[in-house]
Structure formats: structure tokens, C-alpha cells
Amino acid sequence: MENVKETIANLPKDDGWNAGYPLYQYQGFWCSPNFIEDIILSQEGFKAEPTDIFVCSAPKSGTTWLKALAFAIVTRTRYDTSTSPLLSKASHDCIPTLSNSGKKLDICEPGLPLIGTHTPYHALPKSVLNSDCKVVYICREPKDAFVSLYHFLAKRAPNKDDYLSLEKAFDLFCEGKSFYGPYLDHVLGFWKASQEKPHKVLFLKYEEMMKDTEPYVMKLAEFMGYPISREEEEAGAVWEIVRLCSFENLSNLDVNKTGVKQQSKAKVENNFYFRKGKVGDWKNYLTTEMAERLDKLMDQTFAGTRFSF
């Protein structure tokens, strides 16, 4: 553990988005030291099992939603939509997070195969990359992901006066200096993996799922090895999962209105994970120049790939 702390202390460092909360660059991405510590420990100690399913995303890309959908699908024979733990626990508390022995530590459902993480694809433990376990990933249009992150971190900031301006945060985001950033590299890493190993990595887009969620619930269920039968579909199971996990439903639950969790030095209220849940909200915050800058960066990063938003 001392070695890990020493390794982190010697990494490239940036002041980050909040005074007193620096970011360090580890294996090409930026993150806070406590999360890097978890990642290093998981790289050293985590042993994936073929039945594991990793629920992956960059922050503010629809993690809360994907976790809820994956959990509802996998546990649907155990609970119906009136007894689901999603009604009384934040979806982040229904799925353990990857750490050195993550799933065994804080698992709430015996046998639950799901494990959540924001770790970039290339930095996942070797046993995850090399075993038969599955990975599902959700990405979001980067301008919306930035705006969402800016608001989330503003709410989480212990001292609001120390929080930086939208313009400064945008500069940092474009430079790749955001949690688990560069954001575009995070997306591209999982997209490439989904092209190379389509049986292992399912790549989903927030915007497409928002347009019509039902086919993606079917796809996700099939991919994870929990296919929804025709009988279930006819009985309305897909629609019920969509409704249970919808922004409207989850954001209005008591647990998500009032629940609070300590996350390292910060107090995080569950309602921070629910803001607007809209596509294209960036238009209310970014200037044309800012949008063009990020669009250009996307063109450069994704040039030569078949990927675009």
C-alpha cells in the first residue's frame, strides 16, 4: 500500500477542477489519487471470473441508468418491479465497484455478476481483458457529458468558492484533464474493443437509448446472457424494466431524493446523479466557439476510425 501511495505521488499532477483535489496522470488518464489507488490494487489483485459482467462508462455518460437497467434485467426473476432493490437503494449501491477484491467486499446480492467501473479499457485488470467475462459500456455525446460533469462537480464541491468557471473547466476537459479523461480516449478505447471483440464488449450510446430504450434492453439482456423470452416480452417485462429505470421514476424515489453518501472527502447526495436527463442540454451552456472546439477535437481523435457521435 505504501508503494502504491509512493507511485501515485510521483505521477504527473494537475491542480484539477477543485482546489485541494488534484488529478494525477496514470497510464495515460487523469484521476484522483484514491481512485488510482483502487485501480492499481485491482490491476494487481483482481481475478475476473468468466461469468462477471463489467458495467463501464466514463463519468456522466449514463452510468446510473445503465447500472439500473443491467441490475433490473439480471435480477428480474428474483424481484418484480414493485420489490426491486432499485426502489430503496441508489443504483450505485446495488452494484459493487471494481477494486482489488471488489465484488466480494460490498456485494448486496449473492451471485450478482455485475461490477461497475469507470476504469478506461486499457487499464482494466489483465484478468478482465483476457478472460471470457463481458463488458457493457455506455458513452455520451461529449458536450453533454462535459456539461453534466461540470454541474455534478459543482454540487459536490466542498467549497463552492474554489470551484472553477465553466470556461476553465472546459479548457481542462479539452486538454483531457477530467476524471478518467481524456474523455474521447475513454470512449475510443471501448469502441475499438467492441469492434475487435464484439462477443465481449457491448458498446451503447446514451442518445440512441434515450430515443427508444426497449430494443436496447433486449440487446443488453441477450448480450449479458439473460435473454428476455417472447413470453416475457409479451407480458410487458421489457416495458416494465424501461419504466422502472427511467429518469422520471428513479429521480422521484425517496432514496434518490434524500440519500447521501460519503465519497472520499466529499458528501455526495444521490440526487446529484439526476439533473435533467436530456439530450442536447449543452446548447444552454456552451458558446458556438466552445462547441466547435470540441467537435474539432472529436474529428481529430476519431479520424481514421468509423466511429462518430
Positions marked active-site: 118
Minimum Å gap between C-beta 123 and ligand A3P is: 18
Closer by beta carbon to ligand A3P, 42 or else 256: 256
Return residues touching ligand A3P (CB under 6 A).
Answer: 57, 59-65, 144, 148, 151, 245-247, 250, 273-277, 281
Closer by beta carbon to ligand A3P, 7 or else 249: 249
Alpha-carbon gap, residue 33 to 5, rounded angstroms: 8
Minimum Å gap between C-beta 130 and ligand A3P is: 27
Closer by beta carbon to ligand A3P, 122 or else 151: 151
Minimum Å gap between C-beta 69 and ligand A3P is: 8
Q: What is the 3-state secondary structure (H, E, C) of the chain?
A: CHHHHHHHHCCCEEEEEECCEEEEEECCEEECHHHHHHHHHHHHHCCCCCCCEEEEECCCCCHHHHHHHHHHHHCCCCCCCCCCHHHCCCHHHHCCECCCCHHHHHCCCCCCCEEEECCCHHHCCHHHHHCCCEEEEEECCHHHHHHHHHHHHHHHCCCHHHCCCHHHHHHHHHCCCCCCECHHHHHHHHHHHHHHCCCCEEEEEHHHHHHCCHHHHHHHHHHHCCCCCHHHHHCCHHHHHHHHCCHHHHHCCHHHHHCEEEECCEEEEHHHHCCCCCCCHHHHCCCHHHHHHHHHHHHHHHCCCCCCC
Contacts for 232 with CB less than 8 Å, ≥ 6 apart: 76, 238
Tell how strand 260-263 and strand 266-269 pair up.
Answer: antiparallel
Minimum Å gap between C-beta 1 and ligand A3P is: 28
Minimum Å gap between C-beta 105 and ligand A3P is: 22
Closer by beta carbon to ligand A3P, 48 or else 209: 209
Minimum Å gap between C-beta 158 and ligand A3P is: 19
Closer by beta carbon to ligand A3P, 37 or else 144: 144
Closer by beta carbon to ligand A3P, 189 or else 277: 277
